[in-house]
A = this chain, B = another copy of it.
Amino acid sequence: MINRYSRPALRELWSDGRRFEVWLSVELAACEAMEEERPTPDSIVPPGTAARVRAAASGKLDPARILEIEQRTRHDVIAFLTHVEELAGADARWLHLGMTSSDVLDSSLAVLLCAAADHVADGLSKLSAALRLRAKEHAATPLIGRSHGIHAEPTTLGLVFAGFLAETERNRRRLAAAREEIAVGKIAGAVGTYAHLSPAVEARALGRLGLRPETVATQIVARDRHAAFFDALAVIAASIERIALTIRHWQRTEVGEAEEPFGKGQKGSSAMPHKKNPILSENLTGLSRLVRSWAQAALEDVALWHERDISHSSVERVIAPDATATVDFMLARVTGLVEGLVVHEQRIARNLALTEGLVFSEGVMLALVKKGLPRQRAYEMVQRCALAADSGGTLRERLGADGEVSALLDGAALDECFDLQHHLRHAGAILERALAEAAR
């Protein structure tokens, strides 16, 4: 994770200090659950142990010291426990009882990923709110719709935002499902059999942490859950990339329909003082590639050996912080872009008129069909006039001058085909649909 592409909350979330505190909270949750176990034979932890360890160690862990001990033990959880013993003394012996490192690590990872997911969810909510506002603001701003980068038929700027809104809402639902998938821990021992533990202790301990037990754990929580989680992040990133790509297109010199907010004192180029570049959107495009690639690595982590091998660990040490922090950052950035986007309505209107009506060609063809022509015949007649318009004259003029066409459609009938408001009569309904769905 690099500072440039992350925000403070996520950097703190994935700091050594926070991680060790979460480890401690898992150990203490398990310890408390064991204290409550009396009077079963497994319950040997003296009451009050967790409270005493918490008082001695919570908030006092020294990450540097733990890493120093790890140099010797080459095992991070053992180093951590050794340090807790330094702080809490004899009581610490009751920690980690019957547990394996992964009980701590995987339950902690779940706590941290859930917290990260909550940040991402918050970012999605804010993006939705921004999109909703812009969609309503431009509900009635006609905009040329483009397929293949070529003018197609008119749409509205509001609908573009509404499309992004609908996609963001889908991402909220996907993220919620993915968070549910990884809100799962385990306190089940070396190979998940509770050899020195019990399902009851686990359930209580995880409950305190906001987690559910893994259905069938091995040494670890199954990694298909994490793959699904990182895939959800990759889709979110791709959706942000779609918004960013649209802004980049809008800001092109020749299009000029909208542009990124440009700060006072900002410089677009070290060489060319006239430049105002969509660099934030381009940045999001690149970051999406990274999130996408990390998801690929997560998919390779699913098939581990037997009850686990540790190859997933190095992957997750990198991608869990990097992917969540990057998506959090991307959401904040794209939300700012949506909110601050400078819309040039005059350019939008000018571009809409650029083809001088070519974009209404479909309506003419349909009118000819209604007059009884076979579809392909009608198509060819209109295409002929459209291609001719390339060399001068508007489509409307070419059609009027075309003997075959004007024999079927008089001037009024032709004019009707070029009516923008008729084209957009359903735009409001679509927008309402998107807003209603987003409100759910």
Contacts and interface: CB of A to CB of B under 8 A. Distances in A.
A278 to B, nearest CB: 6
Contacts of A238: 224, 227, 299-300, 302-303
Contacts of A174: 228
A38 to B, nearest CB: 14
B286 A149 contact: no
A149 to B, nearest CB: 4
Interface string A144-160: 11111111111110010
A253 interface: yes
B166 A222 contact: yes
B99 A270 contact: yes
21 contacts: A96-B375, A144-B253, A145-B193, A147-B269, A148-B279, A149-B251, A149-B253, A150-B268, A152-B190, A159-B193, A162-B216, A163-B218, A194-B426, A224-B239, A273-B361, A273-B365, A277-B310, A283-B311, A286-B310, A289-B315, A293-B293
B191 A152 contact: yes
Contacts of A296: 289, 292-293, 296
A276 to B, nearest CB: 7
Contacts of A162: 216
A267 interface: yes
Interface size of A as a range: 35 or more
Contact of A150 (B234, B252, B292, B312): B252
A413 interface: no
Contacts of A104: 270
A277 B150 contact: yes
Please tell me how many copies of the chain the complex holds: 4
A112 B72 CA distance: 34
Contacts of A150: 251-253, 268, 275-278
Contacts of A96: 270, 375
A349 interface: no
B235 A231 contact: yes
A332 interface: no
B235 A224 contact: yes
Interface stretch (A47-55, A113-121, A122-130, A378-386): A378-386
A354 B315 CA distance: 32
A404 interface: no
Interface in A44-84: 44, 72-75, 77-78, 81-82
Contacts of A424: 193, 195
A67 to B, nearest CB: 9
A351 B101 contact: no
B270 A286 contact: no
A251 B369 CA distance: 30
Interface string A310-343: 1111110111001000000000000000000000
A216 B303 contact: no
A228 B227 CA distance: 12
A166 B145 CA distance: 36
A300 to B, nearest CB: 5
B293 A314 contact: no
A272 to B, nearest CB: 5
B145 A81 contact: no
Given A74-B266, A301-B286, A374-B90, A196 B274 contact: no
A408 interface: no
Contact of A361 (B77, B94, B274): B274
Interface in A232-286: 232, 234-235, 238-239, 241-242, 244-246, 248-249, 251-255, 263, 265-279, 282-283, 285-286
